[in-house]
Amino acid sequence: MGESNKKLYRARDSADGRYGPKQMASSEASALAFNGAPCLADAAPALRQSLLAWYGEQGRDLPWRQSRDPYAIWISEIMLQQTQVKTVLPYYRRWLETFPTVGELAQAEQQRVLKAWEGLGYYARARNLHRTAQLIVERHGGVFPTGFEDAISLPGIGRTTAGGILSSAYDQPVAILDGNVKRVLARLVALPKPPAKAMNELWQLSEQVLDPQQPRDFNQAIMDLGATLCTRHRPSCGLCPWQHHCAAYHQNLQSQIPMTEAKAPIPHKQIGVAVIYDNAGRILIDRRKQEGLLGGLWEFPGGKIEPNETVEDCVRREIKEELGIDIQVNDRLITVNHAYSHFKVTLNVFNCTHLSGEPQTIECDEVKWVTLDEIDSYPFPKANGQIIDAIKEQAN
């Protein structure tokens, strides 16, 4: 935390650390071990005290922690879903410069919202932010609601996100359970199964350990603990304020917990993509339908290569099926490899020439012929950025 913003929390003296009680007997630590039912209520006062003392000295100095504006806190919570802090920071600052209030976000065109989100991924978050801003203005007078049920009824806001917003903005004692918190709690009780199969138990643990007097700082502290010390790989147990309470540490299981489930192989899709030029040198782009992955973003048209189909044949077929036009497939422009959360793609991108037909919105919401100078004003998925760079390099 920033020097001027550090909070002082009283910690007990300890034999080997500043943040917790003296060394527990192993039998005391094992009492926290998971035995089929959550069991942190007795240990909660000591856990709260040691964690808050550590956070007062070691907590990260993050811009949304300097704010009590529910709007700014809500934006940060949505951006941090499945995204690291270091990635979020520049987007957060630019977002608040572009849309400084919920009213301005509500009134913005969706394309402007998606452009501001461009590159951050999981674009449904941006669409939900936009729709939620409109609902907050319509139903809640332009202020993020203080009620839990009202909060989770908004698009893109689940139990953890609601807890993060309500505790940070309004200091309400509402528990959270993001990835960091799951990992910390799973180790604390040596959870003998994957977190995905113990969600009810983990929620009970999070509610038991939450400090009802200081929920804002506690929730931020437990997330910091998971993000900085109780990390997925090679946790820094020697620096952890909860080391003496941690059942996984005392059983030397911190590298095995949280347990993971076997994952199916990640599918890898081969995609044929067309950069189509007309006689004036303009390029054809289309806007994806609102629903589904990358909804509302612009892209270069194309589709999945079928078995025993050449890339060139795929590109011709997809363009005919999606846009109703005939093209000539020319030379390969670039090959782009990109990974999403549940699959990988290889984009095989070809320069193409428009031959006949008027582009139709058969499989998309909108089509446009644009110049190279105009193309940067449209929001594209991250992988398409490499295609745009290749087009520009080709043009020089």
* pTM assigned to the model: 0.81
- Is there a single domain that holds both residue 92 and residue 214? yes
Q: Any residues with CB less than 8 A from the CB of 96 and at least 6 apart, and which?
A: 72, 75
Evaluate whether 136 touches 143 at the Cβ level (below 8 Å): yes
Its domain, for residue 277, covers 268-395
Which amino acid is residue 78, in one-letter code? I
pLDDT of 2 higher than 60: no
**162 & 224 share domain:** yes
Q: What local confidence, expressed as pLDDT, does residue 182 receive?
A: 97
User: Is the per-residue pLDDT at 289 higher than 50?
Assistant: yes
The residue-averaged pLDDT of 180-205 equals 95
Q: Assign 295 a pLDDT band (cuts: 50, 70, 90).
A: confident
Please report which helix (H) or strand (E) contains residue 313, including its range: helix 311-323
In this structure, what is the dihedral angle of CA atoms 327, 330, 335, 341, given to the nearest 10 degrees?
Answer: 10
291 catalytic per annotation: no
Q: Which helix (H) or strand (E) holds 326?
A: strand 326-339
SS3 121: coil
> Which residues on adjacent β-strands are paired with residue 329?
352
pLDDT score for 11: 35
Position 372 in a domain: yes
Residue 310 pLDDT exceeds 60: yes
Which helix (H) or strand (E) segment holds residue 258: the answer is none
Amino acid at 363: E
Query: Following DSSP, what letter does each residue of 267-290 receive, concatenated?
Result: PEEEEEEEEEE-TTS-EEEEEPPS
| Residue 260 belongs to some domain of the structure | no
d(CA 217, CA 238): 23
Which of 35-44, 75-84, 168-177, 303-312 is least confident? 35-44
Same domain for 153 and 242, yes or no, is yes
In a domain, 262, yes or no: no
pLDDT, position 396: 83
Q: Please give the distance of CA 340 from its chain centroid, rounded to a whole number.
A: 12
Give the number of other CB atoms < 10 A from CB of residue 278: 12
Q: How far apart are CA 203 and CA 37, in angstroms?
A: 12
From 250, 284, 310, give the residue that closes a domain: 250
pLDDT in tens, 229-288: 999 999 999 999 999 999 999 999 999 999 888 888 889 999 999 999 999 999 999 999
Q: Are residues 222 and 273 in the same domain?
A: no
Mean pLDDT of 153-164: 95
**Whole-angstrom Cα distance, residue 39 to residue 232?**
23
Give yes or no: residues 235 and 330 share one domain. Answer: no
* Same-domain check for residues 152 and 220: yes
Assess whether 351 and 224 both reside in one domain.
no
Which pLDDT score is estimated for 29? 47
CATH number for the domain that contains residue 322: 3.90.79.10
Query: What's the pLDDT at 382?
Result: 87
Tell me, yes or no, whether 242 and 307 share the same domain. Answer: no
Q: Which residue in 77, 118, 201, 318 is the catalytic one?
A: 77
Looking at 250, 283, 318, the residue that finishes a domain is: 250
**Mean of pLDDT values over 139-156:** 96
Dist. CA 310–CA 20, nearest whole Å: 64
Residues 295 and 222 in one domain: no
Indicate whether 244 belongs to any domain: yes
Residue 342's pLDDT band (boundaries 50, 70, 90)? confident
Q: What pLDDT, in 10s, does the model give residues 77-97?
A: 999 998 999 999 999 999 999
Question: Tell me, what's the pLDDT at 341?
Answer: 79
Residues 137-146 have pLDDT tens digits of 999 999 999 9
Residues 237 and 283 in one domain: no
In a domain, 159, yes or no: yes
- Tens of pLDDT, residues 6-54: 444 433 333 344 555 444 444 444 445 555 555 788 899 999 999 999 9
pLDDT range class, residue 60, cuts 50, 70, 90 = very high
Q: Are residues 146 and 277 in the same domain?
A: no
- Tell me if 114 sits within 8 A of 382, measured CB to CB: no
Distance CA 378, CA 356 (A): 25
Note whether 239 and 272 are same-domain residues. no
Q: Find all residues with CB under 8 Å of 52, minimum gap 6, and list them.
A: 7, 9, 211, 214, 217, 218, 221
pLDDT in tens, 202-235: 999 999 999 999 999 999 999 999 999 999 999 9
Residue 350's H or E segment, with its range, is: strand 344-356
Number of domains the chain contains: 2
The total of other beta-carbon atoms located within 10 Å of residue 7's CB is 13
Whether residue 258 lies inside any domain: the answer is no
Whether 103 is in a domain gets the answer yes
Q: What is the mean pLDDT of residues 282-304?
A: 91
CATH of the domain at 164: 1.10.340.30
pLDDT of residue 352: 97
CA distances in angstroms from 339 to 318, 326, 334, listed in the order given:
22, 30, 17
User: What's the mean pLDDT when you consider all of the chain?
Assistant: 89
Residue 100 has pLDDT above 90, yes or no: yes
Q: End of a domain among 250, 283, 317?
A: 250
Would you say residue 89 lies in a domain? Answer: yes
Give me the residue label for tokens 């919401």. Answer: 365
Q: What is the mean pLDDT of residues 329-349?
A: 92
